[in-house]
Amino acid sequence: MIVVVCPGQGSQTPGFLSPWLELDGVSERLAGFSEAAQVDLQEHGTVSDADTIRDTRIAQPLIVAASLIAADALTARAGRRADGVAGHSVGEIAALVESRVIDAETGMRLVGIRGRAMADAAAQTPTGMSAVLGGDEDAVLARLAELGLSPANYNGGGQLVVAGALPALAALAEEPLKGTRVIPLQVAGAFHTAYMESAVAALRDAVSTVTPSDPDLSLWTNRDGSVVPDGATALSYLVDQVSSPVRWDLCMASFADQGITGLIELAPAGALTGLAKRGLRGVPAVAVKTPEDLDAAAALLNGEAA
């Protein structure tokens, strides 16, 4: 079983879309995506600097568009799709498109709304996020409760992303628990926590106009790592996930339980294959960062030596 995974916010880097624009039809497709998301994706994916594309309004549509372009290029190269798909955080929108729950235009419209709504929610109160590496998870969670912080991403492999008020995050970094390392993230907002409730409402309104199809391949949810049973549930989970923790650890555990034999991360790739090296030891993984990686990914997808 080969699983394709779609990355979340923070995976973008300046200029990362440039090599993809050399493929036939990508520029035209990106123009359509830009109109749907209300973001100039070609400009931001080629010439904008790191600070500009860190903006949630820009980063989220940019990442989803890249994953969709890479997915189509991989399918064309390999002659087949993967057996299953999952997305990390905003990557779930790309996963819904890849599993045919929604079409690409709808996905790009929703990610544009999601990015704007989450940026607006983050602007209401100064908050942030930090990665906690190592340590005992129960002890870390107890310390978060003391500080009024929330777990945002359970990434597996000893990595937990936490979110909340800036003074509390500073206190966590100043006195880290034994065996842990705290790394502040360049994110202006406490995503996947109760601070995002206004964004949940905005996305729910947008989703109410969408008629989904049922997934035509296995689709895992960040909610609890389970396989999503139908399209309506997929959309419901997509909305709720904005203010609830990302359980990527449970997604990887579910991949393993169902016999994963290979993992392919779509552009802008790197983070999820890194987590897979720790959480899915021994499973071959390919990060599709540029079109040059498509041959290796296609070989893995077709059961050949990558």
* Alpha carbon distance 147, 169 (integer Å): 8
Residue 146 has pLDDT above 90, yes or no: yes
Mean pLDDT for 151-164 is 94
Of residues 30, 102, 40, 105, the one with CA closest to residue 70:
30
Give the count of alpha carbons within 13 A of 151, CB side only.
21
Neighbours of 67 (CB within 10 A): 32
Residue 187 has pLDDT above 90, yes or no: no
Residue 211 has pLDDT above 60, yes or no: yes
* Alpha carbon distance 299, 286 (integer Å): 10
Q: What is the CATH number of domain 124-184?
A: 3.30.70.250
* Alpha carbon distance 187, 100 (integer Å): 30
| Beta strand extents in the chain (DSSP E only) | 2-6, 84-87, 127-134, 150-156, 159-165, 180-184, 218-219, 246-247, 262-265, 285-287
Known catalytic residues are 89, 192
DSSP codes, 132-188: EEES-HHHHHHHHHHHT-EEEEEEETTEEEEEEEHHHHHHHHHSPPTTEEEEE-S-S
- Give the mean pLDDT of the chain: 96
Mean pLDDT for 175-190 is 91
Q: What percent of the chain has pLDDT over 70?
A: 99
| The length of the chain, given as a count of residues | 306
Biggest alpha carbon–alpha carbon distance for the chain: 54
Mean pLDDT for 128-151 is 96
- Looking only at the bridges linking them, the beta strands covering 246-247 and 150-156 are parallel
* Alpha carbon distance 267, 289 (integer Å): 5
pLDDT in tens, 226-252: 999 999 999 999 999 999 999 999 999
In this prediction, residue 216 carries a pLDDT of 97
Domain residue spans of the chain: 2-122+193-301, 124-184
DSSP 49: -
Residue 305 has pLDDT above 80, yes or no: no
Q: Given pLDDT bands bounded at 50, 70 and 90, which one contains residue 306?
A: very low
Mean pLDDT for 4-12 is 94
The C-alpha R_g of the chain, in whole angstroms, comes to 18
In this prediction, residue 167 carries a pLDDT of 96
Q: What is the CATH number of domain 2-122+193-301?
A: 3.40.366.10
- Looking only at the bridges linking them, the beta strands covering 159-165 and 127-134 are antiparallel
